[in-house]
A and B are shown apart, each in its own frame.
Chain A
Amino acid sequence: MTTIDPQAEPALAKPKGMRWESYVHGHHWRNADDEFDAAKLGMWLFLSTEVLLFAGVFVSYAIMRMKYPEAFINGSGYLDVKWGLTNTFVLLASSFTVAWAVRAAQLNQRKVLIANLIFTLLCAVAFFGIKLIFEYIPKWSEGKRPGEWFSYPYAHDPHEHIWWGIYYIATGIHALHVLIGAGLLTWVLVRSGMGKYGPKNYAMVETSGLYWHLVDLVWIFLFPLLYLIH
């Protein structure tokens, strides 16, 4: 029978400003590996819930497209593939740098880690900027709005408001996820600056990175559905 020495348990208050070298795993874990595996498993489960959440949006898209194909073809024609593609590359690049950041944390390259995180966050800002300046604001002001607010005078199809509803819901929920992901990465960036992540403790970098990949993946699906299919 394994006996746990009460002295070996971590003190209730951890020292402030603790660096990764002195990281101690949570008291209810047997070792740090178990804790790290659990964090990853938890994140993967959470990502599966996110996929199901977006599945709901995709199903709505499919059903409404089946009902009103004309409205969707017309609506899709209003979108500018150029900006959609740009945003796709922006997110792909950010996915690459966030993966690099995880590797840097594992190898204890703090500067590389921070640089990659900053680049990723810049990509998030660029994504948002493009979305707002070239997509949301002009479309909204032209009256291409969801549902009851739709007031675009040159609509070809009486159900285009549904297309815009789906468009704003899908991209809106995705944008919300970009925001949450950027928030997580900012937190990781701040703590990287404090030297908290290194070979012994990079679970947070890795799980935030996983989340960011999901955000990217969802966009990879949204982009062709909204911009490309005619």
Chain B
Amino acid sequence: MTTIDSQHDLAHGGHDHHEGSYLTSRGSIIADIVNWATTVDHKKIGVMYLFAVLFMFFLGGVAALALRIELLDPPRLQVLADGTQAITGLNITPALGADPEDLAQNNLYYNRLFSAHGVIMTFMFLVPSIPASLGNFFLPLLLGAKDVAFPRLNLLSWYIYIAGSIFGLASLLFGGVDTGWTFYTPYSTTTDAEHWRTLSMIMAAFVLGFSSILTGLNFIVTVHKLRAPGMGWFDMPLFVWAVYATSIIQVLATPVIGVTLLLLLIERVLKVGIFDPGMGGDPVLYQHFFWFYSHPVVYVMILPAMGVISEMLSVHARKPIFGYRAIAFSSIGIAAVSFMVWGHHMFTSMGELAATLFSALTFLVAIPTAIKVFNWIATLYKGSIAINTPMLYTLGFLFLFSIGGLTGLPLGALATDLHLHDSYFVVAHFHYVMMGGTVIAFVGAIHHYWPKMFGRMYDERWAQASFWLVFIGFNVTFFTQFFLGTQGMPRRYAGYADEFQLLHQISTYGSWLIGLGFLGHLLTFVTSLVVGPKAPPNPWGGLTLEWEAESPPVEHNFHQEPVVRHGPYDFDRVVPPHCDEKDFPLPDQDEVARVH
């Protein structure tokens, strides 16, 4: 990479400061463990979140691969159990269920697996992914603050997240649930005689919600009160805008899922009859409650991804982001509209008037989203574009997220949605948005911020090779599913009619490529931590405040409180901190003054 220059190491990295980096050991392992477990440092909490959510991503990913193996050639789950035993010696058959000959059991494993995949990926991975890990680590740095507004509350959020995850994993370890991540009533209030696992899983989602609320609350106050001197609202990096919009949704939508899940728990235990039609309740009321949260939460997952994409795109293209205000306002616009569109998940179970209204409102979301994509593409025009892993992931995001967004159109239109609802088309659509959008941006952002977080560079060739595996594998896996959906394949099916098999097989082979790609990334990261070359403070030439800090940052982030003197994306006017103008040359300043 052009940006790694040993001179920077000598000039800055080697400089002796009074404070050690936040990663500096306290002397003994026990002291370190105690220190990390009781830390209120946003960086350490962010790093702990990072590893926790990546672990959850791994678990959810394993469940996904198992699902794809079943669909290669159903029924297959017993084959999977035998294979696991052959390779690892672990007998997972008892964990899956009982009689392997039994089709009902096979389907039950499948149903539990897809429920596990859904619950882990949404509640334990996607919701906390970027905001809780990278947001925690970088929000104060981007604002030039020493910490988030309420550091102890931040630690509490982390422990609530752990508690919620324990509820969920306990339920999974003892067999899991077969309700799907949506817990639709009356299925979720009646299924499974041994119902403690279902209760524990609902409890998990309930508890995780609190973690999400407290993190969001903390971030909103941080953005309001802890911006560095000189940083007005429109001097904030776009990642901050995105996290701010996300936090608003978290604070305003999550309490509703809280009370919904509470009512669901009460319904299951006491049978009060709010949701259960057997007692006089209304199952559609549950769907309204559930989607009132769960639609906005989709934007909790995607908005931070859009934020990091704006950062990476601008830094690696060395170009002021095109239409800063449009991107910032569209984040807030998406957050606002997201509260009015939940009904589009229920076109098949609601009346004509409501369906029409929600369809119209749904199209509104497309507008700010389209504006963002146009602005990102326009940012590339006349840039100085470095092709490295974060940039590849950014371009990959633009490709995949555009497909994800555009395939939302036939789902928003009433007539076509009635065909595509609950089919593989929907599965493909939201994977293009959630994985092609959020996960791709997340992985790209981890590469982008890796040197800052851990003070080490990663191996570009390995990372880029892994990117291509993930990118190609992703398209093979999920593009086929659009065709499955339009041809009539319903989702959440453990088996299928003949005519769907070829596409299912292609999809499964693609999933193996994705798995291989992520394995490559894992190896890249581990290698980087062990033998990676030391990272300079500003390897990419970023202008936002986090690049003024050391890599990794010191305990209190900055040696001196930073003062903002230029915009976050003034690449044509400012030489980046810790960088040499030789590597990051500026254009003719008279021309810059003329153009702006």
Contacts and interface: CB of A to CB of B under 8 A. Distances in A.
In the complex, A touching B (Cβ < 8 A) = yes
A27 B146 contact: yes
Contacts of A165: 266, 270, 272-274
18 contacts: A1-B562, A28-B140, A29-B226, A38-B150, A45-B217, A45-B251, A49-B254, A52-B255, A53-B258, A55-B255, A56-B255, A64-B281, A147-B279, A161-B273, A162-B274, A165-B270, A166-B274, A169-B266
B596 interface: no
B560 interface: yes
Contact of B563 (A1, A53, A169): A1
Interface of B: 18, 140, 145-147, 149-151, 153, 213, 217-218, 220-221, 224-226, 229, 251-256, 258-260, 262-263, 266-267, 270-274, 279-282, 285, 289, 556, 560-563
A146 interface: yes
Contacts of A54: 259
A28 B146 contact: yes
Contacts of B221: 38, 41-42, 45
A134 interface: no
Contacts of B259: 52-57, 173
Given A158-B280, A165-B266, 6 more contacts: A41-B220, A49-B255, A53-B259, A60-B285, A148-B272, A162-B273
Nearest to B225: A38
A86 interface: no
Nearest to B229: A2
B43 to A, nearest CB: 12
Top 6 closest pairs, chain A to chain B, by CB: A165-B272, A56-B259, A147-B272, A28-B146, A148-B271, A52-B255
B interface SS class: helix
B263 A42 contact: no
Contact of A38 (B18, B213, B224, B556): B224
Nearest to A51: B255
Residue from A27, A28, A149 with most neighbouring chain B CB atoms (10 Å): A28
Nearest to B253: A52
B272 A162 contact: yes
Nearest to A54: B259
Given A60-B285, A146-B270, A147-B271, A37 B225 contact: yes
A54 B556 CA distance: 39
A7 B259 CA distance: 48
B251 A49 contact: yes
Interface residues of A, number: 45
Contacts of B218: 42
B281 A162 contact: yes
Contacts of A26: 151
Nearest to A146: B272
Contacts of B251: 45, 48-49
A166 B282 CA distance: 14
A59 B562 CA distance: 48
Nearest to A61: B274
A68 B273 CA distance: 12
A161 B260 CA distance: 19
B147 A50 contact: no
Contacts of A21: none
Contacts of A230: none
A159 interface: yes
A3 B147 CA distance: 17
Contacts of A6: 18
A56 B260 contact: yes
A13 interface: no
A173 B145 CA distance: 38
A73 B253 CA distance: 31
A163 B229 CA distance: 55
A42 B217 contact: yes
Contacts of B217: 42, 45-46, 49
A2 B561 contact: yes
Nearest to B284: A63
Given A49-B251, A53-B256, A53-B258, A2 B563 contact: yes
A45 B270 contact: no
A4 interface: yes
Nearest to A149: B270
Nearest to A52: B255
Nearest to B280: A159
Given A1-B560, A28-B145, A56-B289, A159 B224 contact: no
A52 B213 CA distance: 12
A43 B397 CA distance: 37
Nearest to A56: B259
A155 to B, nearest CB: 13
B153 to A, nearest CB: 8
A7 to B, nearest CB: 12
Given A1-B560, A63-B282, A161-B272, A50 B255 contact: yes
A142 interface: no
A55 to B, nearest CB: 7
